[in-house]
Amino acid sequence: MKLMKILLALGLFLYLSGCSSVSVNTDYDDSVDFSQYKTYKFYSGKDLDGDALAKHPLAKKRIVNSIKKALNAKGFTETSDNPDLIIATYAGIDQKMNVTTYGGHYGYGWYSPYWGGGMGVTQTDVNYYDEGTLIIDVVDAKKKALVWRGTGTQILRDYSSNEERQANIDDVVSQILDDFPPGSGKY
């Protein structure tokens, strides 16, 4: 059951129906001329230890397809021969805890005709949730050097359909790749 929950949640990143609350961060090598890059291919080597996508090939396939759509829309071409860029993607899942405390002690004061203390009740709620981070690395194929990295982090949730799952993945990938290549998007 836990595996099914993780698989559904991994169906990924990127949920919260309707309003998207993805925390996106990007970084790049500012000495690189990104206009020189035209072609790409996906990394096909050994998976990283702990990569959540390695355990969930259907989720990885959806994410790769979404990245392809986004890159092709930006004018890049996928190739298997001598690409300019290598695209690598991986993910991690962390269990987080949210603690909420409300209520409290009402303190001392004058309560006619007495001086004394009031009383109050404090209640604490503890909730656990899974947070997923999707990482997209862009590597210069000739130099074998990382030139751009984008990450998107969001609370994972279950989806009622593959269509909803894919729509959320597309949204997150789009947000991560919004400013790729650097200088092409909004700042």
Domain limits for position 154: 2-179
Cα(75)–Cα(70) distance, integer angstroms: 9
Nearest to 60 by CA among 116, 7, 21: 7
- Report pTM: 0.75
Kindly state whether residue 187 falls inside one of the protein's structural domains.
no
pLDDT digits (tens, 9 = 90+) for 33-84: 999 999 999 999 888 888 989 888 999 999 999 999 999 999 999 999 999 9
Pair 176, 134: CB distance under 8 Å: yes
**Could you tell me the CATH number of the domain that includes residue 132?**
3.30.160.670
pLDDT digits (tens, 9 = 90+) for 134-143: 999 999 999 9
Total count of domains within the chain: 1
Residue 102, φ and ψ in degrees, nearest 5: -145, 165
Biggest alpha carbon–alpha carbon distance for the chain: 90
Q: What angle do CA 174, 177, 181 make, to 5 degrees?
A: 145
